[in-house]
A and B are shown apart, each in its own frame.
Chain A
Amino acid sequence: MKKVLNKIVVYMFLTILGIVMIYPLLWLISSSFRTNQEIFTSMGLIPKQIITDSYVKGWRGSGQYSYGVFFLNTFKLVIPTVLFTLISSVLVAYGFARFKFPLKKFLFAMMISTLMLPNAVIIIPRYILYRNLGWLDSYLPFTIPALFATYSFFIFMLVQFIRGIPRELDESARIDGCNSFDILVRIIIPLSKPALFSAGIFQFIWRWNDFLNVLIYITSVRKYTLSLALRMSMDITDSVAWNQLMAMSVLTMVPPILIFFFAQKYFVEGIATTGLKG
């Protein structure tokens, strides 16, 4: 009897906590369909009167550039960055996981230590470097470093995973006449798909949500990503059109949340196997 009672208490607690966690998001969605007068009076989830012009008007963005442009920009920044990160990281991870070479331990330690290098320390010289290279106000500050495997978290994640792939597979492929690149393409990459998938998802979501870096590097509205566009809408609509701002916030949340639902398995496995980032 006491056990049953205990269980009921636990479930009640978990459910209440679940509501606290999810309710704000649901409220945001429902409020984006409300009139501005109603947003700050009601705590329920069902609008008295459902309106959609918040989406229509909000979508217009700055007037000159609509949220269509901002969505497209975000994809233009995020997708190449994700792809380049995956390609470069798997090459480097393969090198670290499977080969012996001079200074390997030292280089690996350097790679790990960059995980703890605060972005705040290197951001000013990077800005000046990119300015001298003429990369400011473009997406090159995001894509080119990705091409050179500077997101070391993913290298670490993939090294851990590749180490778990039995070496006998490499050996037998070698006997069959494969060189090291064949082994990477035919054995390591296909077997690392789950890890690559979760690395891709994480990188997608982190780049998608990134604000500070785009704030610093992107200046013209034409090239704004969604984070910058939302901030701009916030300043423009500060005192009037809350529902438009909410509507656009909801839209920017859709891609990460969709990915989360479709690829949940990889998410949980991804963080669980690396055990690193929170």
Chain B
Amino acid sequence: MKVTKIMKNPNFRSKFKSDYVGLLYIAPWIIGFLVFQLYPFITSFIYSFTDLSLLKTPNFVGLSNYKNLLTNDKLFYQSLKITLIYVLVAVPGKLLFALFIAMILNMKLKLINFYRTIYYMPSILGGSVALAVLWRFLFARNGLVNIVLSKLSIPAIDWLGNPDIALYTISFLTIWQFGSSMVLFLAGLKQIPAELYEAAKVDGAGRIRSFFNITLPMLTPIIFFNLIMQTINAFQQFTSAFVITKGGPLKSTYLYGLMLYDYGFKYFRMGYASAQSWILFAIIMCLTLLVFKSSPYWTYYEDGGDF
């Protein structure tokens, strides 16, 4: 009696049916996830314990790839070091600059859309080869930047040829593309209720105090996401260093992505490259976890943090 009553209830039927319909809709993703993401993820871990290369049958070598990397591979440490420098310069540089400009553009000025468009332009071209070509010309020994400097009577700088400078020239290309982060911050700033600032003003808070007590806390969720995504991307940066400097001079721009490419697809030492990629993954995971775990202390969610 009771059961038939439930069965006759149209809500029950539609709900029961939609269970499977929903799975049907997400089926393409489930297949894609298993085949193109989960399977490669697991196999790359297995590969990292082998001497896999396309030239011969692979053997299990235990931990020796990792041991080799960590104890005997000077290039690995060099690459890791400069990648960390790159991430530490480019990511905060980009985000701080984006935040700063977004704050200015939020001051209710005229022509905001015009400025926003111009600042966004370089981001459109992302990591394209064309932009890397442009960078090579701009920072060549007799390129535009040095021509401008000479007009200001400043001696020419070897932007791409000096091992102490080249990495920063490449980081600058990343920072130059601050536009997309800026647009995000600008959208976040627009959502901060004006009453908060008015209330702060009544309480006698100055500009600097309302920045630290209102603006920054309200923006932290956006900063948080940006920080994580930009960091993950920066660790894998490839195109700029590969095209502009080819990792040189003296391996000073030999980013981790270049090393992975060399071992994986130039020397075809794919087991070794897999181990390298898992070390990178471990580093990225640790940093992401650190940001996640620390986020309750510095991110502020109006709805209590459920996102």
Partner pick for B277 among A120, A215, A230, A249, CB 8 A cutoff: A120
Chain B residues with Cβ below 8 Å from A95 are 22-26
A98 interface contact, C-beta 8 A: yes
Q: CA–CA, A22 to B273, complex, Å? A: 39
- B74-82, B158-166, B278-286, B294-302: which lies at the A interface? B278-286
Q: CA–CA, A12 to B143, complex, Å? A: 26
Chain A residues with Cβ below 8 Å from B280 are 118, 120-121
Q: Judge whether B29 and A275 touch: CB under 8 Å.
A: no
B192 interface contact, C-beta 8 A: no
B214 interface contact, C-beta 8 A: no
Chain B residues with Cβ below 8 Å from A250 are 130
Secondary structure of the B contact surface, majority rule: helix
B31 interface contact, C-beta 8 A: yes
Most chain A beta carbons < 10 A, residue from B21, B129, B184:
B129
Q: CA–CA, A42 to B100, complex, Å? A: 32
Secondary structure of the A contact surface, majority rule: helix
B126 interface contact, C-beta 8 A: yes
Q: Judge whether A43 and B148 touch: CB under 8 Å.
A: yes
Q: Judge whether A124 and B236 touch: CB under 8 Å.
A: no
Name the distance in Å between A23's Cβ and chain B's nearest Cβ.
Answer: 8
List 9 A-B residue pairs with CB atoms under 8 Å apart, sorted by A's residue number: A14-B109, A117-B37, A121-B44, A125-B40, A125-B274, A148-B29, A234-B133, A245-B133, A278-B229
Interface residues of A in 1-45 (CB under 8 A from B): 7, 10-11, 13-14, 17-18, 21-22, 24-25, 27-28, 31, 39-43
Q: Judge whether B133 and A180 touch: CB under 8 Å.
A: no
B171 interface contact, C-beta 8 A: no
A185 interface contact, C-beta 8 A: no
Chain B residues with Cβ below 8 Å from A14 are 104-105, 109, 115
Q: CA–CA, A246 to B138, complex, Å? A: 12
Q: CA–CA, A28 to B22, complex, Å? A: 51
Most chain B beta carbons < 10 A, residue from A91, A149, A256:
A149
A123 interface contact, C-beta 8 A: yes
Partner pick for B239 among A125, A211, A242, CB 8 A cutoff: A211
Q: Judge whether B22 and A121 touch: CB under 8 Å.
A: no
Q: Judge whether A120 and B32 touch: CB under 8 Å.
A: no
Chain A residues with Cβ below 8 Å from B229 are 115-116, 276-278
B205 interface contact, C-beta 8 A: no
Name the distance in Å between A243's Cβ and chain B's nearest Cβ.
Answer: 10
Interface residues of B in 34-53 (CB under 8 A from A): 35-37, 39-41, 43-44, 47
Of all chain A residues, the one with the shortest Cβ separation from B179 is A21
Name the distance in Å between B192's Cβ and chain A's nearest Cβ.
Answer: 14
Binding site for B on A (CB under 8 A): 7, 10-11, 13-14, 17-18, 21-22, 24-25, 27-28, 31, 39-43, 88, 91-92, 94-96, 98-102, 104, 107, 110-111, 114-129, 131, 145, 147-150, 152, 155, 174, 180, 205-206, 208-212, 215-216, 226-227, 230-231, 234, 242, 245-246, 249-250, 252-253, 256-257, 260, 264, 267-268, 271-272, 275-278
Q: Judge whether A111 and B273 touch: CB under 8 Å.
A: no
Q: Judge whether A122 and B40 touch: CB under 8 Å.
A: yes
Q: Judge whether B133 and A249 touch: CB under 8 Å.
A: yes
Q: Judge whether A150 and B104 touch: CB under 8 Å.
A: no
Q: CA–CA, A43 to B146, complex, Å? A: 10
Of all chain A residues, the one with the shortest Cβ separation from B257 is A120
Given A149-B29, A242-B137, CB of A98 within 8 Å of CB of B22:
yes
Name the distance in Å between B173's Cβ and chain A's nearest Cβ.
Answer: 10
**Contact pattern, B 223-260, Cβ under 8 Å of A = 1, otherwise 0:** 00110111011011011001100000000000011001
Given A14-B115, A120-B236, A275-B222, CB of A99 within 8 Å of CB of B19:
yes
B151 interface contact, C-beta 8 A: yes
Q: Judge whether B29 and A117 touch: CB under 8 Å.
A: no
Q: Judge whether A209 and B125 touch: CB under 8 Å.
A: yes
Q: CA–CA, A82 to B60, complex, Å? A: 40
B119 interface contact, C-beta 8 A: yes
Q: Judge whether B26 and A118 touch: CB under 8 Å.
A: no
B220 interface contact, C-beta 8 A: no
Chain B residues with Cβ below 8 Å from A152 are 29
Q: Judge whether B28 and A249 touch: CB under 8 Å.
A: no
Name the distance in Å between A55's Cβ and chain B's nearest Cβ.
Answer: 15
Partner pick for A24 among B129, B134, B188, B256, CB 8 A cutoff: B134
Chain A residues with Cβ below 8 Å from B148 are 43
Q: CA–CA, A249 to B243, complex, Å? A: 13
B199 interface contact, C-beta 8 A: no
Chain B residues with Cβ below 8 Å from A230 are 129-130, 133
Q: Judge whether B28 and A125 touch: CB under 8 Å.
A: no
Q: Judge whether B26 and A107 touch: CB under 8 Å.
A: yes
Chain B residues with Cβ below 8 Å from A149 are 28-29, 32
Partner pick for B151 among A43, A114, A123, CB 8 A cutoff: A43
B127 interface contact, C-beta 8 A: yes
Interface residues of B in 252-272 (CB under 8 A from A): 256-257, 260-261, 264-265, 270
Chain A residues with Cβ below 8 Å from B236 are 118-120
Q: Judge whether A278 and B184 touch: CB under 8 Å.
A: yes
Of all chain B residues, the one with the shortest Cβ separation from A104 is B22
Chain B residues with Cβ below 8 Å from A104 are 22
Counting from the closest, the 3 A-B pairs by CB-CB distance are A99-B22, A148-B32, A95-B25
B212 interface contact, C-beta 8 A: no
